[in-house]
Structure 1
Amino acid sequence: MRRKRAEIATDPVAFEAFYRRHVDAVTRFLARRVDDPHTVADLVAEVFIGVLDSAHTYRPELGNEIAWLYGVARNTLSAEKRRAFKETRLTSRISGRRPLATDDIATLEERIDAEQPARRAFEAMAELSEGERAVLELVVIDQLTVTEAATALGIRPGTAKVRLHRARRTLQHLPFVMEGTPG
């Protein structure tokens, strides 16, 4: 019996008979697990390619050939799921993105370099309370007046002035914090 299984890997007639005997069962097995007909067809083909590669591993004492074939099908399906997961993860990482031209990359690098002081400012402001940070961002980074910042935050101008004063006192070691317009 073992020799017969090995024959399917080398004898086209034996393989065709094996294929015809089991193709419907393999198709049903995969159709119960996959809902795309194209994927099912591809997986059926991959299972029988896998059969050619692993015919020598069939052991009749461990079960009939359909059980062994379902094992091949499960391994093929598992490999497909891993591949699909990686593809989905990669697609989600790059979806909505277009490849950048060299000029675009250079422009973005210049912009990133130019914004480095602002990034340092945001990092330093992490130690402030939310209210102090919001006023400081609006006045120093976004260049609003204190009154405009108060309006944007829905607070009184006096409250905004106090928060700005506290934020500047906390971050006085940074040169940018004294920038911005009063009022």
Structure 2
Amino acid sequence: MRRKQAKIATDAVAFEAFYRRHVDGITRFLARRIDDPHTVADLVADVFLAVFDSAHTYRPRLGSEVAWLYGVARNTLSAERRRALRESQLTDRVSRRRPLDTDDIARLEERIDAEQPARRAFEAMAGLPEGERAVLELVVIDQLTVTEAAAALRIRSGTAMVRLHRARRTLKELPLVMEGTTG
């Protein structure tokens, strides 16, 4: 698996295959958290650029390819949120975006609309401690296993299971919370 990761940094065909395998999942991950199609498109590109730049850091013993990728996506999203907090004017944000054509915007708006229930779940989860919320998001919303979520968050599987249990107990009235994988 490590060889496969290192290969995407040097082999355009391998990188394209990796991208095609995961672009929809990463787009869904970001569309659940961001409601602007321009930002979603930019962050998807940023995630795969970060993957390309850091493929040599992937260690299979620390988790699956998917867990590593979602860790990169979470880091990219966190960096974007920090950047957005520092932004002082909306016009500044708009001026740095690459223009999207009508089809791109329509597809991203459809994706954002489809993720509306997940965004409502995020609002309900906002009161949870960060650690519990992060595990719950990755397992319930993004459909990672508890083991993959633990690897993405760089915590032990047992810790992830405890956090997931606490989060589910707190939000037991929210039907979506009880869904997701447990292994």
TM bucket, shorter chain: 0.3 to 0.5
Q: Which has the larger radius of gyration?
A: 1
Q: TM-score, normalised by structure 1?
A: 0.48
Q: TM-score, normalised by structure 2?
A: 0.48
**Which has the higher relative contact order, 1 or 2, with Cα contacts under 8 A spaced 6 or more apart?**
2
